Amino acid sequence: MFVNFFTRIFLLFGCITLWSCANGVRIVKENTLVLQYQDFGPEAMAGELLGPERWPWAKEHYSTPQQFDIHVVVYRDVKLETVKKAYPVDEHSNQDYRYIEYTTAIQWHEDQLSKFTDQLSKDEGDKDYAFFFIRELYKNVLKIERALRK
């Protein structure tokens, strides 16, 4: 009878632990959006926000262009530490994530859109280039807003 009591307590504790872990993952997934580095434009444009477009552990300089699979996690209403646990950087599997808070991501997009619209209004630079990036930036803002709007 004494063992049966502890078995029930252990099972109850196990169920509560599993439920809380599953609930935590759901909360993180509901409050994050995973995008590609390229969704933020080329490194010349996104590098200040996201860092270089290469893995941090890739110290070599490449003579030919390389493709690095880098994900950007935009998060809202969840702690950065929690997001990093859900989306860990793993050198051994070449899994790289950059973490951007929602308001920072939206502000960065607004700043970039402002630069390109100013360029168009002043009739400077390549208009096709500016229109392309304006369209891509708006698409990205819509993705972020639809996924994380409260």
Please check the confidence at residue 2 and state whether its pLDDT lies above 70.
no
Q: What pLDDT score was predicted for residue 149?
A: 85
* 128 Cβ neighbours under 8 A, 6+ residues apart: none
For 54-87, the DSSP string reads S-TT--SPPSS-----EEEEEE-SS-HHHHHHHS
Give 9 or 103, the one with higher predicted confidence: 103
Cα angle 137, 139, 142 (rounded to 5 degrees) comes to: 110
Q: How far apart are CA 110 and CA 2, in angstroms?
A: 64
Q: How far apart are CA 45 and CA 64, in angstroms?
A: 20
Q: How far apart are CA 130 and CA 109, in angstroms?
A: 14
- 46-98 per-position pLDDT tens digit: 999 999 888 777 766 665 556 778 999 999 999 999 999 999 999 888 889 99
Contact 42, 93 (CB under 8 A): no
Please check the confidence at residue 24 and state whether its pLDDT lies above 50.
no
Please check the confidence at residue 14 and state whether its pLDDT lies above 70.
no
pTM comes to 0.76
Q: By three-state DSSP, how is residue 146 classified? A: helix
Task: Map out the domains of the chain as residue ranges.
Answer: 1-30, 31-148
- 93-128 per-position pLDDT tens digit: 888 999 999 999 999 999 999 999 998 888 777 888
Q: What pLDDT score was predicted for residue 18?
A: 44
Q: How far apart are CA 84 and CA 80, in angstroms?
A: 6
Does an H or E element contain 96, and which? strand 96-101
